[in-house]
Chain A
């Protein structure tokens, strides 16, 4: 009897999210009681920051059916409104993420095709699919949506996972939705590209990627011209072959669609700039981490830029007692470069560059700490807010509907218990498209690391390959509520970060890649954990080869 009840409640639990959405949208009965009583909200007597520097004290803002209906100190409260007492609360425009994978799910890696070793391997394996759209990868249940929303983000420019040219990006609203289409505000807003080669196939690294980019672009120019001529008068002219990849370039060729380059490093950014200068497309640098020397170029050319919120960890100095002059010097120099990272936005600001921010590579939990770090290193709070709101909106051309708290714009707002960049304050409410999301202070940990204590610690691994038995160490730790890890190289190679590290139901999987003389080689490890033993298989996708991988967790820690 008991058993049956449990079963039923479990089934109900599964149905729950569906019911919520259904009710929210159809505004009918909701046996869960979770759908809101009204979609009209009044936050009263609050400090409302409509835009950076534009602050209303003791003011009220009204959200009605997804839009801001009024904002001011003398606003009448609709009778159907849920009133939130905003005394001591601070209301800001919802944050906008300039470039991220929020909402996207990494697709399974492709099997190795038979015809890999040709100058032109299949486009999907080569990672040349600019005709694809990120919506195909978006999942409404992706944790990153709620994670980023909890940290103030209401809209994300989401780009697809993949290699060189994975597809187009979309502007998505970070609501709870039933269908992924409901998330998409604007589809196909950018062509996303990055310096990621195909494992073991052309283009394998930056060399091939740069050449391929030029080749694609120039053929697109010719193909577009041919198509245009053919469309106006086909008589006596060869029919153009339809090539979806080249067609995806047409709006790029005409500069109607921006190219978002994932250019985190200085050298990547310089290469993106190099291509732009040669080919003349509309360039946006996204995920930029090391752009401190590029400010003059960015300013001069009006290149759009989203700076990375994924900051390096602050270097820790050695204990005073064992410090030699050399150690002191090296620590100073390392700190000098840490400062370059965390003052990048200030450099841009001083150069008069309007920039946004992107969260790619970081997690929601780190957002606030990193924003505070930027402010501590000289970025004004207004400039920080502008980067997260109005500047991002302008750069993404959505400032007509969002970016400030003005009547008529989307009801996207972040409400915190104090000034938003104060260490002590926390985000109490986030409104996205007029829907209220309420948070408690402590609810910070995301669920992905729960139960992960079983794998956290130091492991010694052994790989049995045709070359012989090799050993190394891997370290798995918890970082901002998620699992992270590093694995030492085989035969003394450099350490690699574990990527896609997941531990679910006793199954631990991760992948890592290393640079083998300029060629990135990806190894995927999948296996099960029993006690302190990990029994797995490591495979190199590019070579369709796998071999045993075992590891033992060190006792003690």
Chain B
């Protein structure tokens, strides 16, 4: 049989079987070779390609451009009138670590103790959390999933929102989380009292880091005892791992900047940074990048302008700080594009806001070479939309994570399909009369 006949046999005998199989597999992701054509491509790092093509092969972006040859064996998606973006990155969530907020047994982001930097968020990520599909069908493909709790609650991990084991989800970046001791002036507390409180809290932190610095020097000695907390911190001391410092008030931010200068740690990122706008020039001067948000939040002080929180990312970005955004959410990490939209509206502009949820986030987490933009050689974290993803009228058509085309369903869409026109309606088993 020649090739043509082979093909015909395939089409008429096997193809229907394939189709049936595909139908049954509607809820399954699939990998392979995909060509996304005729699309408006927002590469983020290399501008916008008005009518371009992206080739995805085996998880990697193989080609991007206006004149890309489509491989014969690629599954072709005609995205005429559609827009293609790199997957959005939410730089601060508990996604995977919490299922239901009020049920303690479903919460795994907090461990007992103040100094627990060796607690691994990645190990506790539930790949089958119902919130994960809910999130990714909105174009959020990646999150920084963080532990919470004491002074050093654990190690956060960047995960892609598709995979059946934590390792399949791992996006290649981890960082130790630290809650910077707050000098927040409490009600009716004098300045001196606040200062003292901060000093006490800082001492706890410094004691731990002093030990970590010693440990970093001696850890290779065979006689050094196993000390998992210090081992985790030593990686930060050695510059092998990121340190995410959660710090929010203006005074604390200034203290944290001094603290870093004293300590000299290299890979430091500020998170939260709610009052960053007050001291943006100082953060910029120190060259520290920030993960800001949630953008949709209240001003930190009663006396502040009503839109202080909305404007915060923009003020910092304009001061020259590299800004990524976070929702600080779990089940509603899907709202990341709207947080970005608010940042854009309140001064940041759409282009910078898009960077804040893509390439900036990736670079801040140290994975800028593998995700965060549509570039050849990067992981294929991509979504396709009917328009501007920051607008609520826009629909997300398709999402690719690590090159897998993931199903566009979640429990929330399934419930919609079942209940929009419920059967039966108000009457069960009654005879219908034609009208």
Contact = CB atoms under 8 A, between A and B. Distances in A.
Nearest to A556: B196
A475 B193 contact: yes
Interface string B95-124: 000000000000000001000000000000
A318 B112 CA distance: 40
Contacts of B187: 494-495
Contacts of A333: 303
A496 B189 CA distance: 11
Interface residues of A, number: 13
A494 B189 CA distance: 11
Contacts of B200: 460, 554
Contacts of A330: 303
Contacts, number: 21
A460 B200 CA distance: 10
Contacts of B193: 458, 473, 475
A495 B186 contact: yes
Contact of A486 (B188, B191, B196): B188
B303 A495 contact: no
A495 B197 contact: no
Interface residues of B, number: 11
Nearest to B186: A495
A546 interface: no
B304 to A, nearest CB: 10
Interface in B190-212: 191, 193, 196-197, 200
A330 B304 CA distance: 10
Contacts of B196: 458, 554
A356 to B, nearest CB: 29
B303 A494 contact: no
Contact of B186 (A460, A468, A494): A494
Nearest to B182: A492
A488 interface: yes
A204 B303 CA distance: 31
Contacts of B303: 330, 333
B247 to A, nearest CB: 15
A495 B190 CA distance: 12
A20 B193 CA distance: 48
Nearest to B304: A326
Contact of B189 (A318, A460, A495, A554): A495
A414 B112 CA distance: 63
A447 to B, nearest CB: 27
A460 B204 CA distance: 14
A501 to B, nearest CB: 15
Contacts of A488: 186
Nearest to A496: B187
A473 B188 CA distance: 13
Interface in A358-391: none
Nearest to A557: B196
A203 B187 CA distance: 28
A486 B185 CA distance: 14
Nearest to B193: A475
Contacts of A318: 191
B228 to A, nearest CB: 21
Interface in A453-510: 458, 460, 468, 473, 475, 486, 488, 494-495
Nearest to B184: A492
A156 B188 CA distance: 31
Contacts of B188: 486, 495
A199 B186 CA distance: 25
A475 B188 CA distance: 11
B281 to A, nearest CB: 13
Across chains A and B, which 7 residue pairs bring their CB atoms closest together, nearest first? A495-B187, A495-B186, A494-B187, A330-B303, A488-B186, A495-B188, A473-B197
10 contacts: A458-B193, A468-B112, A473-B193, A473-B197, A475-B193, A486-B188, A495-B186, A495-B188, A554-B196, A554-B200
Given A494-B187, A495-B186, 16 more contacts: A318-B191, A330-B303, A333-B303, A458-B193, A458-B196, A468-B112, A473-B193, A473-B197, A475-B193, A486-B189, A488-B186, A494-B186, A495-B187, A495-B188, A554-B196, A554-B200
